[in-house]
């Protein structure tokens, strides 16, 4: 799948997605018991969607240099 020059469409499957969810956003801040409950809910939603989904994203970079 091609999302264009700045984007790419990927289709993580349930377990792959649940492995990375705690690494971004506020999910890593949730205490372990609560995090497991949230991940179970996310897993159920992915299962309901057929076990995989397409996520579109874009990567951007900013570069700066110091001028003396």
Higher pLDDT, 4 or 41: 41
Whole-model pTM: value is 0.64
The burial of 48, by beta-carbon neighbours within 10 Å (0-12 exposed, 13-18 middle, 19 or more buried), is given as: exposed
Angstrom distance (rounded) from CA 39 to CA 23: 12
Please report the pLDDT score of residue 9 as a whole number: 47
User: So where are the chain's domains?
Assistant: 7-58
Please report the pLDDT score of residue 56 as a whole number: 77
For 9-37, what is the mean pLDDT?
84
Q: Are 12 and 52 in contact (CB under 8 A)?
A: yes
């Amino acid at each position: 799948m091609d999302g264009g020059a700045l984007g790419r469409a990927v289709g993580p499957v349930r377990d792959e997605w649940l492995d990375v969810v705690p690494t971004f956003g506020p999910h890593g801040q949730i205490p372990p018991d609560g995090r497991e409950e949230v991940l179970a809910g996310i897993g159920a939603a992915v299962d309901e969607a057929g076990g995989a989904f397409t996520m579109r994203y874009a990567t951007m970079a900013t570069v700066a240099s110091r001028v003396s």
